[in-house]
Structure 1
Amino acid sequence: MTKLKDIENREDIENLIARFYDRMLADIIIGFIFTDIAKIKLDEHLPVICDFWETLLFHNAKYKRGPEVIKVHQDLDKKIPLKRGHFRRWLYLFHTTVDELYEGERAYLAKERASSIAESMQKRLAL
């Protein structure tokens, strides 16, 4: 079995996020939240998400948004009540995508941060 490499740079993050979003948007449990309810525009959204993950994993402060991200999710929750199961599915898809592509310290950190984000978001949405 071939050893996977760790997440090493922006290109790796872009690869991870592209694969994750492909999987997530096609998912029968949560895909509709992004496509039909939030109606995300991938060409605008993905670079921001990559900046976010690059900031988390490489501490380079590319991501400039702060508390507004909570409001976006609160507004989304008003359109369709978000449930713990939605976050569990999001987390499952993220973790499995990381595990298929990468292994190592940053891959582990990405999964750890995703878990923290999911838990924090659920608390802020009072789930």
Structure 2
Amino acid sequence: MKNDIQNREDLYLIVSEFYKKLLNDAEMHHFFSEIVANDSLEEHLQVLVDFWDNILFYSNTYHKNAMQPHLEKNEEFPFERKHFQKWLDFFKQTVDENFEGENAHVIKNRATSIATVMEIKVSQIREQKEKNN
């Protein structure tokens, strides 16, 4: 039996293993090329740990707008449905490989909600741009 997610160290394990999958995937790695080129992956992982720590444990560690950088990245590299699905599949797979329990269940559900909202927002922006052109 695997342990449940209990702390920031567990969250760091999830995000670091998750990013290994993303960075090694031909359809996903280009979204992160700037982070890698700037040698800021570790800093980015810590921001993600803050984000998930806040989401899962209500730690008040994340104070940024999570949507904005994704909307900006979408301008450079448009997100498609397959990207959201792959992101979600990799995330859930990483959680399942390492943890089980209530917090593991909650973080996967929250990830699904976040991916869904982000995909809807990106689609709305795309539709609005098409309408204006």
Length-normalised TM-score, structure 1: 0.90
2:75 maps to 78
Q: CA deviation at 1:70?
A: 2.0
Unaligned stretches of 5+ residues in structure 2: 125-133
* Cα distance in 2 between the residues matched to 1:77 and 1:24: 16
* Counterpart for residue 5 of structure 1: 3
- What is residue 25 of structure 1 aligned with on the other side? 23
Query: Which amino acid in 2 is paired with 1:58?
Result: F
Using the TM superposition, give the Cα deviation of residue 126 of structure 1 relative to its aligned residue in structure 2, in angstroms: 1.5
Asked whether 1:88 is paired with 2:81, we answer no
Question: Among 94, 112, 117, which residue is 1:97 paired with?
Answer: 94
1:62-119 Cα shifts (integer Å, max 9, x gaps): 11113xx322112111111110110000000000000000000000011001000100
- 1:123: which partner in 2? 120
Q: CA RMSD in A?
A: 1.1
- Equivalent residues, number: 120
Higher helix share: 2
Amino acid at match of 2:54: T
List runs of 5+ in structure 1 lacking aligned partners.
none
Which residue does the alignment assign to 2:103?
A: 106
Match of 2:113, SS state, is helix
| Counterpart Cα distance in 2 of 1:86 and 1:33 | 10
* One-letter code aligned to 1:16: I
Deviations 1:14-42, CA, capped at 9 Å, x for gaps: 1111111111111122112212xxx1121
The answer as to 2:49 corresponding to 1:43 is no
Structure number with greater Rg is 2
Deviation at 1:59, TM superposition (A): 0.7
CA distance in 1, matches of 2:68, 2:92: 25
* Alpha-carbon distance in structure 2 between the residues aligned to 1:59 and 1:65: 14
TM-score by length of 2: 0.86
